[in-house]
A = this chain, B = another copy of it.
C-alpha cells in the first residue's frame, strides 16, 4: 500500500453515488419529508432500495440497445413511475414527482467528503466519473459544495460504467495517460473496470452505503493500489 508506486498520478476520478455522497440516507429523508407533507404513508426505505435496485437493469437496457442513449435522470424517472404504481402511491402531483426525481441532485456528502476532497485538490486534479448526467452532478456539487475541478460523466461517452469507453473518455479529456489517473470508488467492479483500462485504483470503504443492515463484502481485491477508510485517510496516504 505504499504510495511510492502512485508517484506518477496527476488526476483523481471519483465514482460519486455511494463513494462521495450518501444516496440512500439522502433520498429516504426526501421521500419521508414529501410523504409527511402529502399524507402518503409507505415504507419509503423499501421504495428507495427498489429505486436504486432498478438502476443497473435500466442501464443494461441502454447497454443492450433496447433503449437509445438515455440520461440517468430519465432512467430514474422511468423506475420511479413504475414504483409509485407498485407501491400504490396515487396522491402525488406531477410537480411532486418531478421534484422527487431530482432528489438525486440534492444528495448529502459523507461527513469526510468535502474536507477530504479539499485536501486532495491541493495536489491533484479532481474529476467526477459518474453515471449521473452532467446537470445532476453540477447541481449536486453546488448543493453539497463538492470542489471538483471538472465534472465528467458517462453521458459524455454515451456509455454507462462499467463500459470501457467511459474510462477512456476520461483519460482522453484530461489529456493524461491511464496510469496517471487514480480511480476512487467504493465499488470493486468499477475499480476493476478502470484497472482494465490501465488506471490506478483506490478502494474506499463505505460500509453504510446500503444502510446499517446490509451485508456487503468489503474484502478488497488485492490488486487495488490503495484501500482507504474514508477520504481523509486517502488524503493521508497520498500525502496531501
Contacts and interface: CB of A to CB of B under 8 A. Distances in A.
Query: Dominant SS at the A interface?
Result: helix
Contacts of A174: 134-135, 138
Total copies of this chain within the assembly: 2
A71 B175 CA distance: 10
A160 B173 CA distance: 16
Interface residues of A, number: 20
A135 B171 CA distance: 10
A138 B155 contact: no
Interface in A22-65: none
A172 to B, nearest CB: 9
A233 interface: no
Interface of A: 71, 73, 125, 127, 133-135, 138-139, 141-142, 149-151, 155-156, 173-176
Given A133-B173, A138-B150, 19 more contacts: A71-B175, A73-B175, A125-B138, A125-B139, A125-B142, A127-B138, A133-B175, A134-B174, A134-B175, A135-B174, A135-B175, A138-B149, A138-B174, A141-B149, A142-B149, A149-B151, A150-B151, A151-B151, A155-B173
